[in-house]
Amino acid sequence: MLLVAFLAFSQEVEIQAPWLTVYDAAGRPRWEVTLTRLAKTEEGWEGEDVEVRLYWEGEPKFLLFAPRIQADRLGRTWTLSGDITGEATDLTLSCKSATWEGSLKLTGLSLQGEELFLVADSAVWSEGNVISLAGVRAQTAGWEVELQEADYDLDTGVLSGRPAHLVGHGFEIEAEEIRIFTQEDRVQLKGAHVVPYP
């Protein structure tokens, strides 16, 4: 049920609702927003105490919490602000900003799980299980890894990227490509040059 209050002096329409849901072409939820306050603005609407769930083919992929949200009039694009935290599969996350414009764009991302700690300058997710990352620094399986660009598979826990710089286990390694199987404690390298690390 929606409760609509018309404020005569400020010409603001405030809507209090438990949730807003957007569906894909097959009628499955694409994203859902739960919030404690929703207010109409000249540009669209804004809300407070926000919880966002993002789905792919009906399966939940991301859960985000933020103090505030701003969206366009049709709710097709939105931006979260404040201290943003959340979850993605078995990982906890935090980020500086989160925007939806047909895909989820995150900046200043931090991901942490049992076998992985990762920070990235930016990340993009639109469908499936893969997050595309840029400016990555990760720690896993006793390695510290830097990647210019990478993909992380939420289901398999595989981090793959290029070019790679690794430090750990007494070595420093430069590689053209890397695949890190975080759930198996295993690393695959392509075009690697290994130098003993003091």
Residue 191 φ then ψ, to 5°: 65, 45
- Tell me the pTM: 0.85
Q: How far apart are CA 178 and CA 156, in angstroms?
A: 15
pLDDT of residue 197: 52
Q: How far apart are CA 39 and CA 27, in angstroms?
A: 27
Q: How far apart are CA 37 and CA 15, in angstroms?
A: 7
Q: How many percent of the chain have pLDDT more than 70? A: 89
The residues, any chain, with a CB within 8 Å of residue 52's CB and separated by 6 or more, are 31, 32, 33, 34, 62, 63, 64, 65, 66, 69, 80, 86, 98
Q: How confident is the model at residue 191 (pLDDT cuts 50, 70, 90)?
A: very high
pLDDT digits (tens, 9 = 90+) for 73-118: 877 889 999 999 999 988 999 999 999 998 999 999 999 998 899 9
- Picking from 78, 14, 83, 90, the residue whose alpha carbon sits closest to that of residue 52 is 78
Residue 5 has pLDDT above 70, yes or no: no
